[in-house]
Amino acid sequence: MLDRHLVLDEQVALRPEPFGALAYHYGNRKLIFLKHPDVVAVVEALPAHDTLSDALRACNIDERRWPAFQSALEALERSEMLHERTAVG
Amino acid sequence: MSAPQLADQLKAGLDAPICLTWELTYACNLDCIHCLSSSGRRDPHELTTLQAKRVLDELVELQVFYINIGGGEPMIRRDFFELLEYSIANEIGVKFSTNGAFIDAQNARRLAAMDYLDIQISLDGIDAPTNDAVRGAGSYDTAIRAMTHLRDADFGPFKISVVVTRHNVAQLDEFKALADSFGAQLRVTRLRPSGRGADSWHDLHPTNAQQREIYEWLLAHGENVLTGDSFFHLNALGDELLPGLNLCGAGRVVCLIDPVGDVYACPFVLHDEFKAGSVHDPGGFTNVWRESDLFRELREPQSAGACASCGSYDACQGGCMAAKFFTGLPLDGPDPECVGGDGEMALLAASAAVPRPVADHSKPARAAQPAEPARVPVTLGRR
């Protein structure tokens, strides 16, 4: 997961909330809670970085917290909110 | 980052609702005996097309992802498709509830061509006798005809929405099979004593034994059946929680805009006690959602009251505010359908002064009035 190139699906919208953000997928109608502002920051940083670890580092996330971020992002991927970035362009 | 913390966050309210219901009109071709909004006749002060669009503009600003449109029968509004298209073009998805009377082949094709649209067809019985006893003569055939049109137009998986009553609990498997046969998704929700339901609830609400049936059926069918999280009061029946948020979302994640633009805490409490404001107020809907006294109050920690000593309170959260209110029970006590039986006891003790729903838009035939008032005296005068 850490070395993968991930991005938000273009049908997903993020709405800031006091606890973090809500993610809504207009295609499959799924709603997911991003339960910490840092998770939101990492998700938003993904497009600018080649891998998830780069994004985590860029957001100054302590490596001890990385597993929690991995599972949060895995949940997003299971709901088709995140996917592997395809060829540049 | 654990789930209980999230529940607490949600109880404290969000910057904008997740689940916003907007009833577009009080007009309806039907006269269902459990109608939450006592619909029938249009209200002369219903929002105009322009006013409705201004509300949608606000919802865009608030990043409301989707709205639930209802009524009345929303498709009665002449600007129904205009508002639908305006909403979807502005990236607010729409899910609308309908009795299906206006879904002919042509409208079905028009609806099928739209993105970000979900449709719920209301059906409260698996056969005409069961359904029509609640929703009126002919309404079963109307609903089935609409479903057939949607299927023929390749709309995709629409929803069949069932209010669970004493008379259809035993039909849950058949509803599921019906939905499957249409490639549809089944949605079942709890009957509330709101609107005209205040009068029919005592005869229609499931018995305590049936509540266990519903709970077990929902556990068995889990994620494949939608419930609008409306059965969380049943969680006190076992160790396993039903899927969903397990909290009353009123004023926290949920609210209702009625046809004249008044904002209520949820679709089941059309009463002044639960009116937070109006979209016409200064600051509009946004200000009502964020600042109204009522919504602020609902986001405060709620007292468990008489339920505080009950071991099931964490599971059932004291049940539904609307169900208590319209059966005359205190809000900080058991739900009238408390599975522990405490609600039944409370109902016996409840005062006769049960709050009446406001804004009755029922058709005149239903309102109390003398039969044939004008002509009778003439006949009498000749005797």
If you count them, how many residues does chain B have?
383
Cα B77 from Cα B96, distance rounded (Å): 13
Tokens 């339920």 sit on residue: B307
Which residues of chain B does A22 touch, with a Cβ-Cβ cutoff of 8 Å?
Answer: 14, 18, 65
Strand segments (E) across chain B:
19-23, 66-70, 93-98, 117-122, 159-164, 185-190, 254-257, 262-264, 275-278
Give the confidence band of B369 by pLDDT, cuts at 50, 70, 90: very low
* Interface pTM, i.e. ipTM: 0.86
The answer, yes or no, to whether the previous bond of B238 is cis (omega within 30 of 0) is: no
Which among B47, B119, B41, B81 has a CA at the least distance from the CA of B263?
B47
CB-count exposure of residue B338 (10 Å: 0-12, 13-18, 19+): buried
Check if A68 contacts B (Cβ < 8 Å).
yes
CA distances in angstroms from A43 to A16, A34, A47, A72, B308, listed in the order given? 12, 10, 8, 10, 41
Tokens 């007292």 sit on residue: B303
Whether residue B336 contacts residue B327, with contact meaning beta carbons closer than 8 Å, is answered with yes
pTM of the model: 0.90
B47-76 pLDDT, tens per residue?
999 999 999 999 999 999 999 999 999 999
Cα B71 from Cα B166, distance rounded (Å): 24
B131-186 pLDDT, tens per residue?
999 999 999 999 999 999 999 999 999 999 999 999 999 999 999 999 999 999 99
B277-305 pLDDT, tens per residue?
999 999 999 999 999 999 999 999 888 99
Contact A29 B118 (CB under 8 A): yes
Q: How many CB pairs under 8 A join A and B?
A: 39
B90-141 pLDDT, tens per residue?
999 999 999 999 999 999 999 999 999 999 999 999 999 999 999 999 999 9
CA distances in angstroms from B153 to A8, B132, B139, B219, B343, listed in the order given? 32, 26, 21, 33, 46
